Structure 1
Amino acid sequence: MYTFFGALAFMIWGLVPIYFHQLGEMSPALILSNRIFWSAIILIVVFCLKPNLLDKAQCSVRNISLAFVAGILMNLSWLGFVYATITNNIMAASLAFYITPVFVFFMGFAFFKETLGSPQKIALFLMVFAIISYVYLDKQLPVLSLAISLSFASYIAIKKLMKFNTFGAVFFEHIIFAPLALWYILTHSEGLSVINWATLMGSAPLQLIPILLLSISILKTPLSKISLLQYIEPTFHLALAVWIYHEPISNGQKCALIIVIISIMVSSIKIRKTDNHNLASKN
């Protein structure tokens, strides 16, 4: 069930570009600010109705500080994602979230002592090689892709350190930044129509629901498995970029994606073998 929640979260995120592609005339910062503020409002209303959802014993300085850091990382990743979406660069977002599991894999191994077998090491090497190939062929670093992926992978790792329940973590990640978001909205919202406001407000539940699902999933799902579930999102992005929005794909992106897909196959084979082995052991 926890794995399903994680998969569902990444499916929703994979389809989000369809929604934000219609907001090309708005700044990413304004979209982000509305998402933060209206998400905070929703969470505050939920808290008022169900105060027991927030465990006051967990509201320590350490946990709130980690929520603050997690919020910054989440917002940075989301800002880059929105920018890529509304500037017709969904391919950059797709590549970013294909790369992200590498960072998650590594963080799980380095900071949480999760097992990293030979296939995972090969997959990690292939991911690095994919980035090198991109740089060589396109003569530039995939800066936007790397920024999105590194910030989101770090967000997942920080959430693993928090001792909040699901609601508590998401609650503080948003309300801490709500005042700043409100200030930006009030100073940068001239000339918006009713439809614009409705669309911006709609970004809150669209982002809040998968965050809640992912937060639930992370509670009981190893980062190694989370890293594999993440491939759902960029696959949806890739399909949208190629078949719906007909974005051009550079040679570097093509090469990197091919290598990344090979890397995914290596990692997936290992997971299936491990699962089968464990099942056999139980029998």
Structure 2
Amino acid sequence: MSTDRERTLGLIAALGAFGIWGLAPLYFKLLGTVRADEIIAHRVIWSMLLLAAVLAVRERRRFFIHIRVRPRVLLALAISSVLIAANWLTFVYAINSDRVLSTSLGYFINPLVSVLLGLLVFRETLSRLQVLAVLLAAAGTAWMTLRVGQFPWIALILAFSFALYGLVRKKTDVGPLVGLFWETLLMTPVALLWLFWLSRQGMLAFDPAHVPEATLLAGTGLITLVPLVLFAAAVRRLNLGTIGLMQYLAPSMTFVLAVFLFDEPFTPDHATTFGLIWTGLLLFTWAGWRHYRRGRALSRGTA
């Protein structure tokens, strides 16, 4: 397959992945009458079943060999499962409580949190522009807290939980599908027990007789798996610089949904907060892109 065709397929896959993530609030808004914890329990169970089916079809007789992981890896996946569960629960809670703008803010902050973790954990060095970018994001967060009078806990939980999740997965030697399968499998007993408890309390929304709602709850597995598969396909075909630029598509779409479709308040103080963070992201992206181009030029010069 030609390089141009591979790149085109990669761009399509990336647009599909980030597009689904960006439009996800529309899907979860349809489940607005269902508790966030029940939605996450269903998301865990249906994702696990779907992943098991996909891996079984793809690997066939090698299924059990393919999903086998070492105890140390399993422990790391147990930690990452807690982090991604916290991220999912906070995200759905924010949508169901009409705070979609906070999710957009969180995922705009996320790349800068990842940079900070790279500095602290992997001793990665930052350029002056990248340091300035992180400081601007911190200033935006402080402005939201002081001026709006509300600590942006939803945005920060989303940003830090996903950044920490990425950190754990980066240090864990396992593929994306197998890793997510084990994460959801480890969470499944808790999810089942929680649904059982909700049923005993008469608070369970899931009812197979109510087809639309039951279908939407089961569909949370697809919402989880499809963008992940598309993202994995995009990463194989595109350079990280392109992926890095495109990752802002999802929170940008969520921002538009929050302000223009869901009519969430967007005050001058919100504009200042987002403006500081967007400026930081532009500086960070420019610094990363410049470093990437310099590296490519050097590699061509030594080839």
TM-score normalized by the length of structure 2 = 0.83
Give the structure 2 partner of residue 142 of structure 1: 152
TM-aligned CA deviation for residue 217 of structure 1: 6.8
Letter in 1 for 2:39: I
Give the structure 1 partner of residue 96 of structure 2: 86
Give the structure 1 partner of residue 131 of structure 2: 121
- Correspondence 1:254 to 2:264: no
Give a deviation string over 1:185-227, Cα, whole Å, max 9, x none. Answer: 3443257322111010011111122234556777999999876
Letter in 2 for 1:80: T
Letter in 2 for 1:182: L
- Correspondence 1:199 to 2:216: yes
TM-aligned CA deviation for residue 243 of structure 1: 1.6
Q: Is the 8 A contact 1:58 1:163 kept in 2?
A: no
Q: Please give the alpha-carbon distance, in whole angstroms, between the structure 2 residues aligned to 1:62 and 1:23.
A: 37
TM-aligned CA deviation for residue 56 of structure 1: 5.2
Q: Please give the alpha-carbon distance, in whole angstroms, between the structure 2 residues aligned to 1:28 and 1:191.
A: 12
TM-aligned CA deviation for residue 267 of structure 1: 1.3
The 1:101–1:221 alpha-carbon spacing in structure 2 relative to 1, beyond 3 Å, is: farther
TM-aligned CA deviation for residue 118 of structure 1: 1.3
Residue 187 of structure 2: which of 174, 177, 184 is its match? Answer: 177
Residue 242 of structure 1: which of 254, 259, 274 is its match? Answer: 259
TM-aligned CA deviation for residue 280 of structure 1: 3.0
Give the structure 2 partner of residue 43 of structure 1: 51
TM alignment of 1:202-221, pairs within 5 A: 202-214=219-231
Say which SS state the counterpart of residue 162 (structure 1) adopts. Answer: coil
Q: Please give the alpha-carbon distance, in whole angstroms, between the structure 2 residues aligned to 1:178 and 1:219.
A: 30
Give the structure 2 partner of residue 106 of structure 1: 116
TM-aligned CA deviation for residue 60 of structure 1: 0.7
Say which SS state the counterpart of residue 176 (structure 1) adopts. Answer: helix
Letter in 1 for 2:82: I
Give the structure 2 partner of residue 233 of structure 1: 250
Residue 162 of structure 1: which of 143, 160, 172 is its match? Answer: 172
Q: CA RMSD in A?
A: 2.8
Bigger Rg, structure 1 or 2: 2
Letter in 2 for 1:45: A
TM alignment of 1:2-41, pairs within 5 A: 8-41=16-49
Say which SS state the counterpart of residue 30 (structure 2) adopts. Answer: helix
Give a deviation string over 1:14-50, Cα, whole Å, max 9, x none. Answer: 1100111111111000110100001111122233332
The 1:217–1:42 alpha-carbon spacing in structure 2 relative to 1, beyond 3 Å, is: same
Q: Please give the alpha-carbon distance, in whole angstroms, between the structure 1 residues aligned to 2:241 and 2:170.
A: 12
Q: Please give the alpha-carbon distance, in whole angstroms, between the structure 2 residues aligned to 1:57 and 1:28.
A: 30
Which deviates the most, 123-132 or 186-195?
A: 186-195
TM-aligned CA deviation for residue 111 of structure 1: 2.1
Which deviates the most, 8-17 or 205-214?
A: 205-214
Unaligned runs of 5+ in 2: 1-6, 199-203
Residue 142 of structure 2: which of 119, 122, 132 is its match? Answer: 132
TM-aligned CA deviation for residue 82 of structure 1: 0.6
Q: Is the 8 A contact 1:17 1:237 kept in 2?
A: yes
Unaligned runs of 5+ in 1: none
Q: Please give the alpha-carbon distance, in whole angstroms, between the structure 2 residues aligned to 1:114 and 1:8.
A: 31
Say which SS state the counterpart of residue 219 (structure 2) adopts. Answer: helix
The 1:71–1:211 alpha-carbon spacing in structure 2 relative to 1, beyond 3 Å, is: farther
Give the structure 1 partner of residue 107 of structure 2: 97
The 1:152–1:233 alpha-carbon spacing in structure 2 relative to 1, beyond 3 Å, is: same
Percent identity reads 24
Q: Is the 8 A contact 1:135 1:252 kept in 2?
A: no
TM-score normalized by the length of structure 1 = 0.89
TM-aligned CA deviation for residue 272 of structure 1: 2.7
Q: Please give the alpha-carbon distance, in whole angstroms, between the structure 1 residues aligned to 2:165 and 2:47.
A: 18
Residue 268 of structure 1: which of 285, 300, 303 is its match? Answer: 285
Which deviates the most, 261-270 or 53-62?
A: 53-62
